Structure 1
């Protein structure tokens, strides 16, 4: 009986204020990335904001997956496998030069294991998940959607790379970004997007497109000042 009374009180509150959840989450994303934009370029202390990058990434993912519904076994398996594939692809890339080219991670992305930040796996998951949602807006065959999702990830990476080199996320041997990086990104992303399209999990997250767009605008904005 007490549980029923509590539910009877909370349900109307959730219905009344739930409509504000998405705009509040988007506002938080914009504010945090806006502060990061100012901090990297105009604060005079970009190294301080570099140290905050892991927290920003964790906050972004917390908001993103707070909007995910139906945490099924299929979704959890998807999240674990995508994170693992992304992370170990980077481990292979850093230690062999295969997949992406000759590069090394700096200190800005936090704790590293096998010379790769642990958060990289989470970053791969976030990007596949958000671009997968965007590609699902079009009514085309699943393979076309997978290719579109991979292309969106490559588009973002084009603007991430110069920023990453400037602010100690990672660096390339010879300071040139090789074409192999974008080819490797596209190939791995395509495979993960095929998985996204085929995975029997819930794929309606209202915040997902905003997360990708905020990230894209963030890196484009910084890139335009470099």
Structure 2
């Protein structure tokens, strides 16, 4: 039997951790236990994704830092003003906060931008704007699934418990800008685990939506 390479092992880890997380989130008696591991899960997924990048040149790190800081600072402004996504605040699930925003939220932006960016790399050749628009639409769809789960498990909470349309509109434009910048920076964007990462996230949040409905 042919041995598994790094990408193959990484895909297995991604699938296992999402399946285990889904089971844990689905059983009320284990909610608190599994919620305490959410920050570590995000860090692990980011580490796996980055470990499978094909290149780590200067532009890669510029993209990484740009996406992290942009995502984090947009959230800081969003929480402080309510002017970007709507009025919301973060709970305790995502871990340590600075300026009322979890430091890990920037890592989440890195995971979704680098994953979808890598998937769409081979499509719409030389049409960076089209790639970015398609990627933004995909991630708004993911956010649509994330929101009810996030509210249920204290990731964040919305004013009057209503998720505003403004949130999804803002997500679309922010993701578009982040992806457009990602594609402008010249580094090898291939990542063999990106598709597995995105599919697992979609299935994880879709499954939880059906479970907690």
* TM-score past 0.5 threshold: yes
1:108-161 superposed Cα distances (whole Å, 9 cap, x missing partner): 000000000000001101111111112223235211101011111111100000
Alignment of 1:1-226 (within 5 A): 19-42=4-27, 44-140=29-125, 141-226=127-212
Q: Is the 8 A contact 1:134 1:149 kept in 2?
A: no
Tell me if structure 2 keeps the 8 A contact 1:104–1:170: yes
Mark the runs of 5 or more structure 1 residues left unpaired by the alignment. Answer: 1-15
Distance 1:43 1:17, change over 3 A: farther
Write the distance in 2 (CA, Å) between the matches of 1:73 and 1:218: 34
Q: What SS does the aligned partner of 2:191 have?
A: coil
Aligned-partner Cα distance in 2 for 1:31–1:205: 19
Pair 1:87–1:106, CA change in 2 (3 A)? same
Could you tell which deviates more after superposition, 65-74 or 83-92?
A: 65-74
Larger Rg: 1
Q: After alignment, is 68-77 or 158-167 more displaced?
A: 68-77
How far off its partner does 1:23 sit? 2.2
Which secondary structure does the structure 2 equivalent of 1:45 belong to? helix
Q: Secondary structure at the match of 1:107?
A: coil
Deviation at 1:26, TM superposition (A): 1.1
The CA deviation at 1:64 is 0.7
**How far off is 1:21 after superposition?**
2.0
Task: Identify which of structures 1 and 2 has the higher relative contact order when contacts are C-alpha pairs closer than 8 Å and 6+ apart.
Answer: 2
Aligned residues: 211
Question: Which aligned runs of 4 or more in structure 1 are off by greater than 6 angstroms?
Answer: none
CA distance in 2, matches of 1:76, 1:115: 26
Supply the distance in 1 between the matched residues of 2:91 and 2:155 (Cα, whole angstroms).
Answer: 5
- CA RMSD across the alignment: 1.5
Separation (CA, whole Å) in 2 of partners of 1:152 and 1:127:
10
**SS of structure 1 residue aligned to 2:29:** coil
CA distance in 2, matches of 1:43, 1:24: 30
Structure 2 unaligned spans of 5+: none
**Does structure 2 retain, via aligned residues, the 8 Å contact 1:53–1:109?**
yes
